Amino acid sequence: MKALIVGLGGVGQRHVRNLRAVLGRDVEILAYRVRRLTHVVTPRLQAAPDRNVEAEYDIRAFDTLDGALAERPDVAFICNPTSLHVPVALACARGDCDLFLEKPVSHDLDGVAELLATVQSRGRVAMVGYQLRFHPAVQALAAVVRERRIGTVLCARAIVGEYLPGWHPYEDYRQMYASRADLGGGVIVSQIHEFDYLYSLFGLPRRVFTIGGHLSDLEVDVEDVASTLMEFAIDGRAIPVHLQQDYVQRPPSRSCEIVGSRGRVVMQLAPAALTRYDADGAVADRLEWDGWDRNEAFLGELRHFLDCVAVRRKPVVDLADGVASLQMASAARASMATGRVIELAPMETRR
> pLDDT per position in the chain (351 positions), as tens?
999 999 998 999 999 999 999 999 999 999 998 877 778 888 777 778 889 899 999 999 999 999 999 999 999 999 999 999 999 999 999 999 999 999 999 999 999 999 999 999 999 999 999 999 999 999 999 999 999 999 999 999 999 999 999 998 888 999 998 999 998 899 999 999 999 999 999 999 999 999 999 999 999 999 999 999 999 999 999 999 999 999 999 999 999 999 999 999 999 998 999 999 999 999 999 999 998 999 999 999 999 999 999 999 999 999 999 999 999 999 999 999 999 999 998 876 433
DSSP for residue 110: T
CA atoms of 127 and 112, how far apart (whole Å): 14
HSE, CB side, 13 Å, CA atoms: give it for residue 346.
8
> Smallest Cα–Cα separation from 337: which of 179, 178, 181, 159?
181
> Smallest Cα–Cα separation from 75: which of 177, 6, 24?
6
Which domains does the chain carry? Answer: 2-130+298-316 (3.40.50.720), 132-290+326-343 (3.30.360.10)
DSSP one-letter string for 178-202: GG-GGGT-SHHHHTTHHHHHHHHHH
CA 349 to chain centre: 19
With beta carbons less than 8 A apart as the criterion, state whether 226 and 188 touch: yes
User: What pTM value is reported for the model?
Assistant: 0.94
CA dihedral over 238, 239, 242, 243, signed as positive or negative:
negative
DSSP for residue 280: T
Element (H, E) at 129: strand 126-129
Task: Give Cβ neighbours of residue 141 (< 8 Å, ≥ 6 apart).
Answer: 197, 201, 256, 258, 265, 267, 274
Strands 59-62 and 28-32: parallel
DSSP one-letter string for 27-58: -EEEEE-SS---EEEPTTS-EEEEEEHHHHTT
Q: Is 134 helix (H, G, I), strand (E, B) or coil?
A: helix
When computed from its CA atoms, the radius of gyration of the chain, rounded to whole angstroms, is 20
β-bridge partners, 103: none
How many helices and strands, by DSSP H and E, does the chain display? 10, 17
Q: Is 310 helix (H, G, I), strand (E, B) or coil?
A: helix
